[in-house]
């Protein structure tokens, strides 16, 4: 049931978006044969962020037919904005094809359009007069980037300018256009005050100046609602006095709930969602490759705990549309056939369907009668089937699949497994056992399942079916949906079905222990990866060897080294690296910081300590009858102790020690990257690197860890340098590091041969 749910909801939304595109074309007098007439235009921009191209599509969906492929820098004009099936903002753009000069129109992600003048706007008529004396109904904060402000509510309102995440606005009015809430706002842009209209999805509200019903407010407090719930509930009560708000005291600690709901695959988002909404837990995300663990189908990953917390905090959704995720799912006198039809319009259930006995099933009437029989909201049943079945083409409801002809499973119950043939067989086998040998029987049986397995167990709201914080026998499990926003979007859909919201509704709203004082916000966007994929310094060896997860490194250089060049690159192409380039070195300690800043704005600092030895005119000679003294000191057998090593070294001019690459004295065993340090009158006058061939990771041994490092160097995944690079030339051929060295180290580690030091 849960495994194919996400594919099917995408099908449903795709159909709706296709219809939306047709309507948009009609309204704007657009045809694909001759795209020349527009009802309005918005803003000129250019394509950015393509790798190397950006595809435009017929509808705002990754799976829609491609219109064109545009290179970075391609001029476009934004003429519309739409929320796609993935919940992201898409722009409808027009442009001229380079090949033939023809004009085209298509959709692309909003993040792939950059405006040449971010502070200005392209306005096609004078803005409406600023309403300075308007009563402020709510204080709002813009929660997205490049949010359009229009002269009139609706997508056909003329574009005025854009606001950005964090901008403050005053809400002075509200209306609904095509089922979407629009707010009239007062705001300031570049020091000028404006009045305009903005889509409600892009404004987070705090209600104010509501005429307070003190008795109602006291009733909320007596019931146990926290103060942070009361302003929005009071505003809703002022507008809809027949609504009833019931607190559900879960008795659960807020942080414990978020931790439990953040486990792998419990709550998911699509892979095409904003990266900030995706989990970066070690089991869900690889910081070194910038890839996520796929958890359902081919397009769903575990959601980020912060986004889960935002979706779970009721205070974010106490509006007249989003609150319906808390509506009691029991049957009510407020439900009617017209409302059911409103839910299923533009779905495969809009028309009657044939039953096996030759009769015709009217979906709206069926949901209404079944809702009465099972005491379940028919609106909930209709929207749930629409979500589960998408376009209505699944074999689970065809009645013609394989050995299960004449059986139906509209709610996808027990439909799980891979490949799809197994999924279908499991779902229809369950239907056959239940005797669901007609469409009506399947709808009735699914409704009974929801009633018995969820609603009767206290999971009687969309929220509680998505987040089980009430059915203690299977707490944080027994959750009907994995899509973290499923309750929100389905609740909004049901809200639109009610033509009259002045009726008596009951909302069951959860309350947790130790909640944050204010509603949890989620203002992060973009990729969070701030790891470096490489860090190198003028061919010198870092200590320790580079690893993306390690942030502190050190190098000791001779006094003759007066400058170095630092180079670095990021794991994510969307991150920015600061601090690379040439550096002049002072004698002594030099601290260099390299910052990797993620697309979401989170910095990660890598610290590089470079110790430049003091200039000295003192000459010295290092000699050894046991070791080879050249560019490096070699001939050291793995496992040699420092004491044994030093007995084979002489320096008449001074005293010698072994130090690590970071300058600390080593008294244990010799390893690659150690240095022989010469002191005269307690002054460090020189060093020479020590190499143990085969020991490329600097632990003094030759084993499988070195094999891995050499292999990564050969594959250009991890570059060795300095003493470590010399140690990798294990066959002593002087030809760099190659497969022959890998073989030599492997044979040594297996005890089949010994590397000649």
Most confident of 289-298, 643-652, 653-662: 643-652
Question: Which string of b and e fits 320-356 if b means at least 16 CB within 10 Å?
Answer: bbbbbbbbbbbbbebbbeebbbbbbeebbbeeebebe
Residue 718 counted as domain residue = no
pLDDT of residue 210: 58
Comparison of pLDDT for 173 and 645, the residue scoring more: 645
Same-domain pairing of 361 and 307:
no
**Number of domains present in the structure of the chain:** 5
pLDDT of residue 71: 84
Same-domain pairing of 419 and 440:
yes
How confident is the model over 456-468, as a mean pLDDT? 93
Half-sphere exposure at residue 705, Cβ-oriented, CA atoms within 13 angstroms:
9
Residue 752 counted as domain residue = no
d(CA 150, CA 201): 14
Comparison of pLDDT for 20 and 428, the residue scoring more: 428
Hey, CA dihedral for 358, 359, 364, 366, is it positive or negative?
Answer: negative
Domain boundary among 453, 481, 496: 453
pLDDT higher than threshold 80 for residue 240: yes
pLDDT of residue 49: 67
pLDDT higher than threshold 90 for residue 102: no
Residue 12 counted as domain residue = yes
Residue 183 counted as domain residue = yes
Comparison of pLDDT for 27 and 266, the residue scoring more: 266
Write the CB contacts of 33 (distance below 8 Å, at least 6 apart in sequence).
none
pLDDT of residue 32: 27
Peptide bond into 544 cis (omega under 30): yes
Same-domain pairing of 563 and 496:
no
Torsion on CA atoms 524, 525, 527, 531, rounded to nearest 10: -30
Same-domain pairing of 375 and 390:
yes
Closest CA relative to residue 75, chosen from 111, 51, 43, 32: 43
Reported as a single tens digit per residue, the pLDDT across 87-97 is: 677 888 889 88
**DSSP label of 392:** S
What range does the domain containing 93 cover? 5-115
How confident is the model over 613-626, as a mean pLDDT? 85
pLDDT cut 70: percent of the chain above it: 90
Residue 742 counted as domain residue = no
Ranges of beta strands (E only) in 58-96 are 66-71, 75-83, 89-96
pTM: predicted TM-score of the whole model, two decimal places:
0.61
* Max Cα distance, the chain (Å): 108
Residue 445 counted as domain residue = yes
Band (pLDDT 50/70/90 cuts) for residue 538 is confident
Reported as a single tens digit per residue, the pLDDT across 52-81 is: 788 899 888 888 888 888 887 888 888 777
Reported as a single tens digit per residue, the pLDDT across 339-390 is: 899 888 888 999 999 999 999 999 999 999 999 999 999 988 998 898 788 8
Number of H helices, E strands in the chain: 16, 34
How confident is the model over 316-321, as a mean pLDDT? 88
Burial grade of 643 (CB within 10 A; 0-12, 13-18, 19 or more): exposed
Closest CA relative to residue 671, chosen from 545, 556, 573: 545
Three-class SS state of 612: strand
pLDDT higher than threshold 80 for residue 605: yes
Most confident of 76-80, 597-601, 715-719: 597-601
Q: What number of other Cβ atoms are within 10 A of residue 274's Cβ?
A: 22
Comparison of pLDDT for 717 and 149, the residue scoring more: 149
Q: What number of other Cβ atoms are within 10 A of residue 289's Cβ?
A: 13
d(CA 729, CA 683): 34
pLDDT of residue 550: 92
How confident is the model over 313-333, as a mean pLDDT? 90
d(CA 80, CA 93): 7
Closest CA relative to residue 220, chosen from 234, 239, 238: 234
pLDDT higher than threshold 60 for residue 118: no
pLDDT higher than threshold 60 for residue 177: yes
Same-domain pairing of 285 and 385:
no
Band (pLDDT 50/70/90 cuts) for residue 179 is low
Q: Which helix (H) or strand (E) holds 686?
A: strand 683-689
Please check whether residue 307 is in contact with residue 600, taking contact to mean a CB–CB distance below 8 angstroms. Answer: no
The lowest-confidence range among 2-16, 52-66, 241-255, 283-297 is 2-16
pLDDT of residue 192: 82
Residue 753 counted as domain residue = no
How confident is the model over 480-487, as a mean pLDDT? 89
pLDDT of residue 21: 35
Torsion on CA atoms 284, 290, 296, 299, rounded to nearest 10: 160
Hey, CA dihedral for 515, 516, 518, 522, is it positive or negative?
Answer: negative
pLDDT of residue 27: 32
pLDDT higher than threshold 70 for residue 116: no
pLDDT of residue 42: 54
Burial grade of 190 (CB within 10 A; 0-12, 13-18, 19 or more): exposed
pLDDT higher than threshold 50 for residue 12: no
Residue 385 counted as domain residue = yes
Comparison of pLDDT for 634 and 147, the residue scoring more: 634
pLDDT of residue 335: 86
Domain boundary among 82, 115, 148: 115
Same-domain pairing of 183 and 220:
no
d(CA 544, CA 694): 17
Domain boundary among 587, 612, 637: 612
Half-sphere exposure at residue 340, Cβ-oriented, CA atoms within 13 angstroms:
26
Average pLDDT value over all residues in the chain: 85
pLDDT of residue 99: 76
How confident is the model over 656-683, as a mean pLDDT? 90
Q: Which residue has the tokens 């601290």?
A: 591
Please check whether residue 662 is in contact with residue 654, taking contact to mean a CB–CB distance below 8 angstroms. Answer: no
Same-domain pairing of 152 and 198:
yes
* Complete DSSP assignment for 148-216: EEESSSSTTSPEEEEE-TT-EEEEEEEEEETTEEEEEEEEEETTEEEEEEEEGGGEEEEE-S----HHH
């Amino acid at each position: 049931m849960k495994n194919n749910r996400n594919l099917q909801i995408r099908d449903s939304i795709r159909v709706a978006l296709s219809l939306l595109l047709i309507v948009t074309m009609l309204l704007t007098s657009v045809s694909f044969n001759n795209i020349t007439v527009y009802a309005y235009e918005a803003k000129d921009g250019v394509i950015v962020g393509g790798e190397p191209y950006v595809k435009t599509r017929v509808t705002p969906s990754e799976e829609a037919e491609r219109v064109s492929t545009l290179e970075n820098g391609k001029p476009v004009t934004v003429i519309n904005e739409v929320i796609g099936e993935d919940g992201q903002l898409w722009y409808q753009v027009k442009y001229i094809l380079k090949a033939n000069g023809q004009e085209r129109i298509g959709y692309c992600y909003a993040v792939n359009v950059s405006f040449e003048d971010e502070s200005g706007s392209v306005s096609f008529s004078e803005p409406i007069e600023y309403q300075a004396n308007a009563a402020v109904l709510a204080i709002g904060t813009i929660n997205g980037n490049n949010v359009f402000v229009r002269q009139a509510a609706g997508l056909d309102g003329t574009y005025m300018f854009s606001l950005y995440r964090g901008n403050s606005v005053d809400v002075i009015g509200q209306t609904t256009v095509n089922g979407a809430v629009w707010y009239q706002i007062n705001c300031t842009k570049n020091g000028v005050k404006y009045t305009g209209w903005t889509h409600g999805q892009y404004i987070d509200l705090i209600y104010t100046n509501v005429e307070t019903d003190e008795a109602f407010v006291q009733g909320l407090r007596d019931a146990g609602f926290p103060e942070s719930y009361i302003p929005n509930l009071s505003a809703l009560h002022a507008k809809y006095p027949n609504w009833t708000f019931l607190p559900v005291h879960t008795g659960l600690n807020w942080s414990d709930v978020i931790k439990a709901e953040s486990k792998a695959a419990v709550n998911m988002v699509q892979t095409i969602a904003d990266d900030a909404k995706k989990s970066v837990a070690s089991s869900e995300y690889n910081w070194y490759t910038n890839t996520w663990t796929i958890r359902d189908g081919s397009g769903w990953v575990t959601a980020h705990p912060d986004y889960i917390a935002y979706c779970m905090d009721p205070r974010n959704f106490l509006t007249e549309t989003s609150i319906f995720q808390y509506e009691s799912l029991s049957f009510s006198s407020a439900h009617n056939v017209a409302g059911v039809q409103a839910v299923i319009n533009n779905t495969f259930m809009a028309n009657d369907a044939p039953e096996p006995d030759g009769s015709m099933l009217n979906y709206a009437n069926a949901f209404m009668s079944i809702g009465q029989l099972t005491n379940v909201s028919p609106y909930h049943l209709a929207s749930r089937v629409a979500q589960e079945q998408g376009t209505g083409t699944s074999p689970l409801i065809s009645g013609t699949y394989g050995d299960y002809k004449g059986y139906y499973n509209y709610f996808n119950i027990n439909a799980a497994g891979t490949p799809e043939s197994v999924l279908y067989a499991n779902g229809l086998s369950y239907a056959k056992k239940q005797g669901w040998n007609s469409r009506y029987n399947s709808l009735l049986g699914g409704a009974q399942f929801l009633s018995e397995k969820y609603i009767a167990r206290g999971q009687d709201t969309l929220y509680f079916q998505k987040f089980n914080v009430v059915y203690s026998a299977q707490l944080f499990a027994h959750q009907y949906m994995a899509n973290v926003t499923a309750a929100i979007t389905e609740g909004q859909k049901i809200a639109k079905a009610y033509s009259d919201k002045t009726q008596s509704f009951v909302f069951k709203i959860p309350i947790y222990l130790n909640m944050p004082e204010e509603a949890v916000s989620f203002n992060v966007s973009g990729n969070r990866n701030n790891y470096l994929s490489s860090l190198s310094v003028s061919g010198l060896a870092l200590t320790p060897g580079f690893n993306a997860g390690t942030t502190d490194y050190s190098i000791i250089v001779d006094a003759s080294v007066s400058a170095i060049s630092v180079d670095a690159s990021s794991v994510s192409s969307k991150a920015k690296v600061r601090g690379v380039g040439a550096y002049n070195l002072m004698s002594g300690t030099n601290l260099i910081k390299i910052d990797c800043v993620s697309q979401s704005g989170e910095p990660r600092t890598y610290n590089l300590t470079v110790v430049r030895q003091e200039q000295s005119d003192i000459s010295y000679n290092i000699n050894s009858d046991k070791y080879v003294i050249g560019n490096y000191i070699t001939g050291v057998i793995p496992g040699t102790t420092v004491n044994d090593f030093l007995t084979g070294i002489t320096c008449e001019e001074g005293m010698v020690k072994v130090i690590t690459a970071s300058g600390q004295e080593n008294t244990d065993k010799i390893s690659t990257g150690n240095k022989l340090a010469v002191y005269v009158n307690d002054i460090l006058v020189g060093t020479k690197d020590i190499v143990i061939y085969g020991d490329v990771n600097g632990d003094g041994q030759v084993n499988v860890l070195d094999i891995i490092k050499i292999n990564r160097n050969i594959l250009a995944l991890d570059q060795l340098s300095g003493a470590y690079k010399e140690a990798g030339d294990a066959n002593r051929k002087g030809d760099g590091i190659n497969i022959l060295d890998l073989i030599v180290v492997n044979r040594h580690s297996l005890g089949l041969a010994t590397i000649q030091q």
